[in-house]
Chain A
Amino acid sequence: MEIRMLFIISISAIFINNFIFSRFLGLCPYIGVSKQLDSAVGMGAAVIFVMTLASTVTWLVYTYLLLPAQTNLFYHLFALKEPPDLTFLKTIAFILIIASLVQFVEMVIQKVSPALYKSLGIYLPLITTNCAILGVTLLNIDENYRFIEAIVNGFAAGVGFTLALFLMAGIREKLDLADVPKAMQGIPIAFITAGLMAIAFLGFSGLKLGM
């Protein structure tokens, strides 16, 4: 049952509710970094990595620090009368976690693998303000996912984002050679291409995944 659930979550995060084409999250890097295949792959890998990590950490923080339940750590630590409700701090806490996480990952990669840092490094600072990361962590909470489900959702959302970025980069490399009307060049034609791809992805919403 568990495995089946995880499979359903991944398929819907990658195809049916694709972050770019159906949820509109992470459009800035999608338009900005999709000019070449190499940089698209680099950005995609960085996003998958940070999304998975951010989903893990924010879920733990939300469940054990912010949520007013018997498991709240502040409740035990300070021997409070009742568990404190800190859920209103969700937005501030999550964005700080993501920002520091990105900084931390950057430092670790720089020390451990300079080669990987060279290929991923320049994309990491951009990720802090990527709304897809904050988006996936908030969705995990909204959907009431359990721990493993949240991690799988984070990973699959990253894969879906990478898929969209990779496809787009492939198309835009060819588009450079095409004869596009002057007013359409650059961002406008990229959006119209994305619109046509979104129509194709709309086909996935016909998939019926039994729970």
Chain B
Amino acid sequence: MSAIKVFTKGLYAQNPVFKQALGLCPTLAVTNSVQNGIGMGLAATFVLVGSNVLVSLIRKAVPAKIRIPIYIVIIASFVTVVDLSMAGYFPVLHKALGIFVPLIVVNCIILGRAEAFAGKNSVGLSFLDGLGMGLGFTMALLILGTIRELLGNGSFFGVPVTGASFEPMLIMILPPGAFLTIGFVMAFFKWLENRKASHV
């Protein structure tokens, strides 16, 4: 697989959220606004890139039997870095994301990439893989956040965009809206795939 392919596969072909259904908890929980979604996406991307690079660096020294605990400790350390920096520099965002910042530790995308990719590939490729998957995750959060904020609050990134004639649907920024939105978006991607398959 070429380096470019390693990077781009996370964006669409193997998008962690829409195609692999991984990392669902933060995806649904923080997308009630675009801003929260992007904050969460970038935080997870940082942890993903950092842990992928480190796991790849030490992959020859790690005994296979205890690799999972080692990966978890590496991931947890990066999450602590993100948690404390975010609390220091972006206290408002940190408060809005709440316990979902420390919960990046158990985001299955990160452990999944460490296990499936970084533990077997070179540092450079692992970096690209982490970056691609992280941006794919951020993109998914951006899509869901945009739909929910637009329909539920009539705004984008906190700026009102719909006119006064539009009555915001509160349900979209409440928990049920998250389930409904991701259900329909996933169905849309599946529909695209089915259509492509039937054309070939």
Contact = CB atoms under 8 A, between A and B. Distances in A.
| A joins B in a complex | yes
Interface of A: 21-28, 31, 88-92, 95-96, 99, 129-131, 134-135, 138-139, 142, 181-192, 194-196, 198-199, 202
Interface string B95-118: 000110011011110010000000
A187 B28 CA distance: 14
Contact of A196 (B77, B103, B176): B176
B187 A183 contact: yes
B11 interface: no
The 7 closest A-B pairs by CB, nearest first: A195-B179, A191-B183, A183-B191, A192-B183, A24-B29, A188-B187, A195-B180
B190 interface: yes
Contacts of A96: 69, 72-73, 76
A131 B103 contact: yes
Contact of B111 (A21, A129, A194): A129
What size tier do the contact residues of chain B reach?
35 or more
Contact of A182 (B73, B175, B179, B194): B194
A24 B28 contact: yes
B176 A188 contact: no
Nearest to A19: B25
Contacts of A195: 176-180, 183
A186 B20 CA distance: 13
A199 B171 CA distance: 9
24 contacts: A24-B28, A24-B178, A27-B28, A88-B84, A90-B102, A95-B72, A95-B105, A95-B106, A96-B73, A131-B106, A131-B107, A134-B103, A138-B102, A187-B186, A188-B183, A188-B190, A189-B183, A190-B183, A191-B180, A191-B182, A191-B183, A195-B179, A198-B179, A199-B171
Given A24-B178, A192-B184, 16 more contacts: A24-B25, A24-B28, A25-B103, A26-B25, A27-B24, A28-B21, A91-B80, A92-B77, A92-B80, A95-B76, A129-B106, A134-B102, A191-B182, A191-B183, A196-B176, A199-B176
A147 B76 CA distance: 25
A183 B188 contact: yes
B125 interface: no
Nearest to B195: A183
Nearest to A136: B99
B6 interface: no
B174 interface: yes
Contact of B80 (A88, A131, A199): A88
Interface string B12-52: 00000000011011101100000000000000000000000
A184 B111 CA distance: 28
Interface in B101-146: 102-103, 105-108, 111
Contacts of B105: 91, 95, 134
Contacts of B184: 188, 192
B194 A183 contact: yes
A22 B175 contact: yes
A28 B99 contact: no
Contacts of A190: 183
Contacts of B186: 187-188, 191
A187 B190 CA distance: 10
A131 B194 CA distance: 32
A184 B175 contact: no
Of A96, A134, A183, which is in contact with the most chain B CB atoms at under 10 Å from its CB? A183
B69 A99 contact: yes
A31 B79 contact: no
A130 B103 CA distance: 10
Contacts of A26: 25
Given A31-B21, A188-B183, A195-B176, A92 B194 contact: no
B25 A27 contact: yes
A183 B195 CA distance: 10
